[in-house]
Chain A
Amino acid sequence: MDYTQLNDKHRQEMLDAIGVDSIDALFDVIPESIRCQGELDLMPAQSELELQRNLAEMAANNRGAHNMPCFMGCGAYDHFYPVLIDQLISRGEFLTSYTPYQAEASQGSLQAFFEFQTQIARLTGLDIANASLYEGATAVAEAALLAINTSKHSDLLVASTMHPEYIAVLRTVLSDLPITLTMLEATDGHIAPRTVKTAITDDTAAVIVQSPNVWGQIEDWSGCFEEVHGCDKAAGIAVFNPIACGMLKTPGECGADIAAGEGQPLGNALNLGGPYLGLLAAKDSYARKMPGRLIGMTTDSEGRRAFCLTLQTREQHIRGAKATSNVCTNQGLMAMRATMFMTTLGSIGMSEMARQCWHKSHYLADAITSLDGWNLKYSGHFFNEFTVECPIPVTEVVEKGKANGILVGVAASGRRMRGLSTSDDLIIAVTEKRTKHEMDALVALFKEMSP
């Protein structure tokens, strides 16, 4: 079914009104030589019942966090979210509305996104946040461009401990621009502030440090950003996990100027990697150069509170080639989910979720490292994710896990993590969803595998 609603009588009436004999006549302008001869080579139409059957079958041909305990992280986390999000988000008034350019017809979306901006600003300890970007990696790239455009400097210092895909996206985005990207080498799985100090030049635009980093290690943001502030106009960019903000010092508390991150953990499903939610927050001074949409609070002509898109002269639809970014469609519905998530959990829920991630991940790390031959790769603090050196090939560990119905973690070696590690390192994430029973089963499995 193609969801059109005209019958033959309608069509004839409409053609008569236009004054043509056939629909074909409306396409006459198209040169004959390029018109489709015959039908597209696609599968024939399926009814809704057939679609339900076929889709259910395809979905059943996947295993994932719905039928295996998931200890995989590295930028995508299996967190709990309340059922009411799915219920509320399916309201057509949210689902099927457009970007709220017409304020008078969009106060609902606008107010929710304004609340989202405020929640993200508070969560990161910064002044302002935009109404979303695509996902974590592109948010980091936009943060870098924001720092470059503000400082007019052209050197970026990037922590080598950041997620390798984020680094890869940054490289792609910067590859045709006159920007130098310098990688900061790690010591014991994190960036030492003195490494930042050594690398800084007069032309440094920003230092970008992710914490917790790809190995799960908590970085010394304060130390790194203190060094960068020694350079005029240079920015400290904190790449953050919003759940960690429920416990750890926020980017703002650590002196970051800009914070970028992946908002998927805030009420969004794993979805095989998308759609996710790019988060971007910053100090006030960046407002007029922020990429993406911003919602402002204002009044209507009769004096009552109202919301509208604002500072639109930054954006591509007004400024074209001189816009601060090309982003147009963002991740509105994902931001809506995130704000519903934060509103439902509130301070208490956000703190408790973070607390449980901490305690559970430490419980599991202790249990695994009590086994012979299984060691933590790095000695620093971690939050919800840690890296284990396996005594046997990590691919075997992953395979054994699958055979036993557990997604044991992410192997740091191989192409998928872009050659992050050459040894048998397994990155294990623990959210509040993982039970003691599931963790004990993982430990028992590892014990069986011990040499």
Chain B
Amino acid sequence: MTTLETTKIASRGDRPTEPLIFEKHVEHATGVDLPPLDVSETEIDKKLCGSGVHLPSLGQHDVMAHYTHLSDRNFSVDGNFYPLGSCTMKHNPRINEWAAALPGFSCLHPLQDDDTIQGALRLLYETRTMLQEIAGLHEVSLQPAAGAHGEFTALKVIRAYFADHGQPERNVVLTADTAHGTNPASCTMCGASVEEVRTSEGQTDLDHLQEEIDKVGADRIAAFMITNPSTAGIFDAKIIEIAEIVHAAGAKLYLDGANMNALLGRVRPGEFGTDAMHFNTHKTFSTPHGGGGPGSGPIAVTEELAPYLPVPQVMMSNDGSFYLDRDRPKSIGKVRSFIAQFGVLVRCWTYISACGPRGLRNVADTAVLNANYIASQLLDLYAMPYFDPSNGKFCAHEFVTVPQVLLDKGVTLIDIAKRMIDYGVHPPTMHWPIHNCLMVEPTETESKAALDSFIDVMRQIAGEIESNITVVKQAPSESDIARADEVAAARNPIITFVE
């Protein structure tokens, strides 16, 4: 078979499939050169040497072409409406990228002396204090590498606090039944066991919370982890009572900050009784998702938990200079090497500084307005369990729909989601926090025209289910591939290419 034929068969539509780099390998090729060695050689003990490197080699132009072609096969915030609930896919300003790439930031070694990196430490210190202000909490640690890592770190801090206060038996953590999977998984990593608290109407069931506490025993509970606004996109109106119940049990209230975009400048979590929380800078503060990271998950805690935060902590001395404090005797220690996701935090500082206090509040306001607007325009076709504006029930920055009427006509949720791809829209979060739901989060950076266009797409798909159901069931027809066979992939995993 000729190369041309292979390509023709493998491709869908007019977009050619890109071969793997292993298939593009050219013997003796290289994409870049190094200067000749400028020192004398030292004999290498052959016993140390391996059989050589077995990586593919490509010329530079082929490298460029390869990744350019691959980039053509991706949806992105830059090019697509991306209403992925709970993920906050907002615009990523390019000033942030410019800043992080400045050699004065990107070329710093993490073990340099403090006096050589005063600008970087100032930026970290300011980021720390800005996040403290936004959280309404006493102290922030910038060290965690992502949200889940922040959960883990904060739970370690809480457990260390209790151990230090003679209550090491507090090793049960309560999570909501709608919690993100990282919540219980982080508990397990901390050696804590997990009990689920029911939610009803997207909000915590207070009676069940109290029941669980009584069942487990108040003196064994370390914390209750809550997401607020909840993963159902609703602000938990009883949050003050929840905090009271948790605190009455002697436990701590942990806030999963995934949905902070709805609270910026409107509510500070410290004000409603939060003892510890994490931020996701890659959600709330616009640092790009990068196809799955890097994230950054700073945590904020109360004064009583602060001594247990990881080391090092960035500090300002009396003379206005900055330093890394490694001398915190009660600290849980280190949760990652070096300092933090510095390059991500440069972007975070830049974003918060661009917005300022009024801008941040407008971010929350607009995110909430956009979500409510879309919900209101789709409510007649896409049933929403918690959204009922005529009775004063609104959503926060995202909403869930369970389009049962449409599903009853013979399509699956996946069909609807995949049909959205044909219209250039990234599918929303699916089947979470409840079965058969779509969770839609438009974010604040979309224009009204983009929101209207999304509404049109959703209405169009609902119409297609009536008039031309096949096109929905066979979607996506416009994408680079038809539906991927994920079942086969898991049954017979091929995770390394073998020639």
Contact = CB atoms under 8 A, between A and B. Distances in A.
Interface string B141-159: 0000111110110001001
B446 interface: yes
A95 B369 contact: no
A316 B148 contact: yes
Contact of A307 (B30, B185, B484): B484
Contact of A273 (B67, B268, B296, B338): B338
B463 interface: no
Contacts of A52: 95, 98
Contact of B145 (A31, A171, A274, A353): A274
A363 B11 CA distance: 53
A44 interface: yes
Please indicate which of the listed interface residues B21, B78, B239 has the most CB atoms of chain A within 10 Å of its own CB: B21
Interface stretch (A151-159, A182-190, A229-237, A319-327): A319-327
A302 B485 CA distance: 10
Given A106-B74, A326-B148, A340-B67, A345 B31 contact: yes
B457 interface: no
A119 interface: yes
Nearest to B377: A17
5 contacts: A102-B426, A134-B336, A275-B343, A310-B495, A363-B42
B161 interface: no
B63 A30 contact: no
Given A97-B289, A102-B426, A347-B53, A363 B40 contact: yes
Contacts of B56: 343, 346-347
Contact of B342 (A122, A247, A274, A321): A274
A316 B482 CA distance: 27
Interface string A107-132: 11101111101110111010111011
B185 A62 contact: no
A39 B358 contact: yes
A172 B333 contact: yes
B112 A64 contact: yes
B63 A343 contact: yes
B353 to A, nearest CB: 5
A148 to B, nearest CB: 12
Contact of A310 (B78, B483, B486): B486
B116 A300 contact: no
Specify which of B80, B192, B341 lies most central, judged by the most chain A CB atoms within 10 Å of its CB. Answer: B341
A346 B369 CA distance: 50
Contacts of B280: 329
B294 interface: yes
A280 interface: no
A346 B55 contact: yes
A295 interface: yes
A346 B74 contact: no
A295 to B, nearest CB: 7
Given A58-B120, A344-B31, A347-B52, A105 B426 contact: yes
B236 to A, nearest CB: 9
A300 B485 contact: yes
Contacts of A333: 288, 290-291, 293-294
What 4 A-B pairs are tightest by C-beta distance, nearest first? Answer: A45-B356, A59-B104, A273-B338, A273-B110
Interface stretch (A80-88, A192-200, A201-209, A371-379): A80-88
Nearest to B432: A317
A296 B360 contact: no
Contact of B481 (A30, A58, A104): A104
Contacts of A305: 10, 17
Contacts of B318: none
Contact of A336 (B105, B185, B291): B291
A274 B55 contact: no
Given A4-B444, A106-B75, 17 more contacts: A1-B355, A18-B389, A36-B361, A42-B352, A61-B104, A61-B118, A122-B53, A138-B335, A272-B120, A273-B342, A304-B481, A323-B185, A326-B149, A333-B293, A344-B63, A351-B52, A436-B38
